[in-house]
Structure 1
Amino acid sequence: MTDTPVNDTRKAELLSTKVEHIDIKSFDARPIVDAMKKMSFTSRDLGRATEIYNQMLADPDCTICLVIAGSTSAGGCMDLYAELVKSNMVDCIVATGATIVDMDFFEGLGHKHYQALEVPDDDTLRSLYIDRIYDTYIDEEQLQDCDFTINKIANSLEPRAYSSRAFIREMGKYLVEHGKKENSLVKLAYEHDVPIFCPAFVDSSAGFGLVKHQVDAMKAGKPYLTIDAIADFRELTDIKIKAGETGLLMIGGGVPKNFIQDTVVCAEILGHEDVAVHKYAVQITVADVRDGACSSSTLQEAASWGKVSTAIEQMVFAEAGSVMPLLASDAYHRGHWKTRAKRKWASIFQ
């Protein structure tokens, strides 16, 4: 931060309206989803995607992996994802570092995201230390508190290599002891033994805190902590091998999407040729399929790589914040989660 004074009055005006995260228990989306199944276009796609997610929940042999990329957590879906963990509706999470650190852990520390009721010049926002995600604001000074908390956690741990899953578990433990939000995904995942993987973990506020941890340790001539991305891949593949039947609920694309799909190929490389492709798959995305990029690759394309089955899959081309509340509320109220066995996959690494 610079020494330039911040206009606190103007900053308070812009950060006056908090984002309120949707509560999927407060409304029953089953009637509207049932009606959308009888429509066409994206409505029918969402109806089928919801049916597939309910199939995953009803299948006693299916481990469900929630895959999150993008900014839906900051935009109002944070409590939605937390409820999926709390109600045993997901067994494993693969996400971007921003989703887990800059958004969920950030709010777990007591900070908030804000609606941008007006968007002034972004240089003005910078002068006020306000970060913008489309029409959502984050207080940069609060985000730096998140950075330094990550640094504090790293300094408290044995200086060795950790998978992102192992480090995020320590973050969850920290929130249990010091957090200010009960409904935090990171905290609940720790309490319910649901592992969280961030294959690009340092591409987030965690990166700043961990770099400071390493630089300070190097200056002092001391050993330091590192994040082992290979261990991430190995551990997630180990879950896939042990789980057998799996289903994917994917929001967005990017690295998390490819990472979870690649576990099938990795298992084969390790000699487990009997490991099945992901049986169920739903992806909600706005990525254009024409540019050949990984984030826009369809589930059908992934089948050619031996990653997913084409039998029970559905692409939904929509902004996830507008359709995930319907899908999740429908599944919550149909109640298949009530009889699901808890997998507790995080416990296999303890």
Structure 2
Amino acid sequence: EGNAKKEGSLIQTAYELGVPIFCPAFVDSSAGFGLVKHQKERAAAGQPYMMLDAIADFRELTDIKIAAGTTGLFMVGGGVPKNFAQDTVVCAEILGIEADMHKYAVQITVADVRDGACSSSTLKEAASWGKVSTTYEQMVFAEATTVVPLIGSDAYHRGAWKGRAPRRWQSLFETK
């Protein structure tokens, strides 16, 4: 034990570092059934119940995009989470705020567009909507569990992160 650092979960580490976590399709899961049951039962009993606010999540992620300026996306898989992150540029513009496209984008997926998978949208398609720059984008057609550890290990060992100050994006939403 001694000076050994105890490792926590990814969720715990994100919390400790002030990194918000968004899960835009959370109710599209078995947990969603439990939340519906929770709301119905608590409402029937006249008790408070849990409420998820997907609109606030989208607004907050857009606020992070606006505050960050130059951004990049590292997407594992696709679907709703991919579009949720990419669409922050469009949402900012709808709010009347000029936001640069995501400068960097990597998507790791086994899906392709032939059968409507990959949300029928590669990163080049996202560029046509003004979401992602095609200067530094890469589609990686591979199974995520085989390549994400390699990419993560490479990024960690290159060490560029060591000189960066933590961003603590959660602080944008804390009331004073």
Query: Which TM-score applies when normalising by structure 1?
Result: 0.46
State percent identity of aligned pairs: 76
Residue in 1 aligned with 2:22?
197
Long gaps (5+) in structure 1: 1-180
Alignment CA distance shift 1:286-1:293 (3 Å) = closer
Residue 337 of structure 1 corresponds to which residue in structure 2? 161
**Cα RMSD (Å):** 1.6
Are 1:240 and 2:70 counterparts? no
For residue 294 of structure 1, report the CA deviation from its aligned partner. Answer: 4.8
Partner of 2:147 in structure 1? 323
Contact 1:218 1:224 in 2 (8 A): yes
- Separation in structure 1 between the aligned mates of residue 160 and residue 140 of structure 2, nearest angstrom: 22
1:309 counterpart letter in structure 2: S
SS in 2 for 1:331: helix
Asked whether the 8 Å contact 1:252–1:295 carries over to 2, the reply is no
Query: Corresponding residue for 2:132?
Result: 308
Q: Deviations over 1:172-214 (max 9, x none)?
A: xxxxxxxxx9431111111110110011112234324322321
Question: In 2, are the aligned partners of 1:200 and 1:255 still within 8 Å (CA)?
Answer: yes
* Structure 1 residue 326, shift from structure 2 partner: 1.1
| Residue matched to 2:95 | 270
Equivalent residue for 1:347?
Answer: 171
Deviations 1:22-41 (A, max 9, x none): xxxxxxxxxxxxxxxxxxxx
Which structure exhibits the higher relative contact order, with contacts defined as CA atoms closer than 8 Å and separated by 6 or more residues? Answer: 1
Q: Distance in 1 between matches of 2:43 and 2:155?
A: 50
SS in 2 for 1:281: strand
Residue-by-residue CA offset, 1:131-180 (whole Å, 9 max, x unaligned): xxxxxxxxxxxxxxxxxxxxxxxxxxxxxxxxxxxxxxxxxxxxxxxxxx
Return the offset for 1:215.
Answer: 2.1
1:211 alignment partner in structure 2:
36
**Where in structure 2 are there 5+ consecutive unaligned residues?**
1-5
Kept in 2, the 8 Å contact 1:287–1:296? The answer is no
Q: Superposed, which structure 2 residues align to 1:92-241 within 5 Å?
A: 182-241=7-66
AA in 2 matched with 1:300: K
Q: Cα distance 1:316–1:296, how it changes in 2: closer, same or farther (>3 A)?
A: farther
Residue-by-residue CA offset, 1:259-286 (whole Å, 9 max, x unaligned) = 00000000000001x2100000011111
Q: Does the CA contact (< 8 Å) of 1:253 and 1:296 recur in 2?
A: no
CA distance in 2 between partners of 1:305 and 1:260 (Å): 13
Q: Secondary structure at the match of 2:87?
A: helix
Letter in 1 for 2:151: L
1:30-109 to 2 correspondences below 5 Å? none
2:109 and 2:118 in contact (8 A); partners too? no
Give the CA deviation at 1:296: 4.4
**TM-score, normalised by the number of residues in structure 2:** 0.89
Rounded Cα–Cα distance in structure 2 between residues aligned with 1:220 and 1:289: 48
CA distance in 1, matches of 2:145, 2:110: 11
Conservation of the 8 A alpha-carbon contact between 2:112 and 2:118: no
1:209 to 1:226, Cα distance in 2 relative to 1, 3 A: same
Instruction: For 1:226, give the aligned amino acid.
Output: M
Paired residues of 2:111 and 2:118 also in contact (CA < 8 A): no
- Provide the C-alpha distance between the structure 2 equivalents of 1:223 and 1:183, rounded to a whole number of angstroms: 31
The separation in 2 between residues aligned to 1:309 and 1:245, in whole angstroms, is 11
Partner Cα separation in structure 2 for residue 231 and residue 237 of structure 1: 10
Name the structure with the higher helix share: 1
CA distance in 2, matches of 1:324, 1:294: 18
Following the alignment from structure 2 to structure 1, what is the Cα–Cα distance between the partners of residues 130 and 149? 31
